[in-house]
Structure 1
Amino acid sequence: MSDMFLNNFRALVAKYLDEPWLEADGIPLAELDELLAGHNITVPQVLREFLHAVGGCEDLMEAYYYFWDPEELQIEDGYLLFLEDEDEEFTWGFRAEQLAVPDPIIWRRNNATGAWTSEDGTFSEFVFDMFDWVFSEDDDDVDMDVDD
């Protein structure tokens, strides 16, 4: 299967961290496949390429929200869970019946109620929008005072 998303995910390092992408920013495919094999679950192509591209880049994997390491992925409530917010109020996942879709729709669970809500976007759309939001917040915090 060809890489549909890999280069776009690798480009996140340069875009948000102002550094060139390095192999250490990702997880080598052999290692990733070994980690995922223990789950006996199908991981959507987009998540596999995301982890391969930036799964070793802590500055992205833990930028406000926390992407789970490959060995932490699990199916719960009929969803493959892969992300949570810093307060553990919400968890994001894919519907288990959609795991063969290359870039499936994302769902968010309210951990207090257990209710799932569609994000109305695919993983790739969600990730690119999320990083734009997370890293633009830093720009809002800059002191705009100018000395004469």
Structure 2
Amino acid sequence: MSEMFLEKFRALVPKYLEDKWRPEDGLAPDELDEILDEHDFDIPLVLREFYLALGSCEDLMEAYHFFWDPDELEVEDGYLLFLEDEDEKFAWGFRVDQLAVPDPIVWRRNNARGEWQSEEGTFSEYVFDMFEWVFEDDENLDDQ
């Protein structure tokens, strides 16, 4: 299987944490496979590579919203959930009929209403935009 996103995700460590990416920032392939084998669903390539690159990097996994650890992934309402906000008002996921797509569109659920809305971007787009927003916001606060 070719790597489409792995190096781009690894590059987030030096970009935002001003540190070199190290193997311990991610999950080992064997470890990730063992965890994922417990699920009755497959995850998209982009999410797999995200975990391989950053699955143990708490500074990014919990930078603003909380990315779920691979053993916490679950399917609800026809969506594979992978992210939630700190107040648990929203959850993000992929439609289960899109899990074979390498980089599927992200959907957001309003937990109070149970309504889903497309974020109109793929996982990789969403993640890169989110980190840019989170860390630029932090820089702007530091400048004040």
TM bucket by the smaller chain?
over 0.9
Cα RMSD (Å) of the superposition? Answer: 0.6
Please give the alpha-carbon distance, in whole angstroms, between the structure 2 residues aligned to 1:69 and 1:142.
30
Please give the alpha-carbon distance, in whole angstroms, between the structure 2 residues aligned to 1:11 and 1:72.
25
Please give the alpha-carbon distance, in whole angstroms, between the structure 1 residues aligned to 2:20 and 2:30.
23
Query: Larger radius of gyration, structure 1 or 2?
Result: 1
Match of 1:18 in 2: 18
Match of 1:36 in 2: 36
Q: TM-score, normalised by structure 2?
A: 0.99
Q: Give the C-alpha shift of residue 143 in structure 1.
A: 4.3
Gaps of 5+ in 2: none
* SS of alignment partner, residue 91 of structure 1: strand
Q: Deviations over 1:28-75 (max 9, x none)?
A: 000000001101211000000000000000000000100000000000
* SS of alignment partner, residue 118 of structure 1: strand
* SS of alignment partner, residue 91 of structure 2: strand
Please give the alpha-carbon distance, in whole angstroms, between the structure 2 residues aligned to 1:36 and 1:142.
39
Gaps of 5+ in 1: none
Aligned length: 144
The within-5 A match list for 1:112-127 is 112-127=112-127
Please give the alpha-carbon distance, in whole angstroms, between the structure 2 residues aligned to 1:83 and 1:129.
15
Q: Deviations over 1:66-91 (max 9, x none)?
A: 00000000000000000000111000
Q: Give the C-alpha shift of residue 142 in structure 1.
A: 1.8
1:6 paired with 2:6, answer yes
Q: Report runs of 4+ in structure 1 exceeding 2 Å deviation.
A: none
Match of 1:95 in 2: 95
Aligned partner of 1:141: which letter?
Answer: L
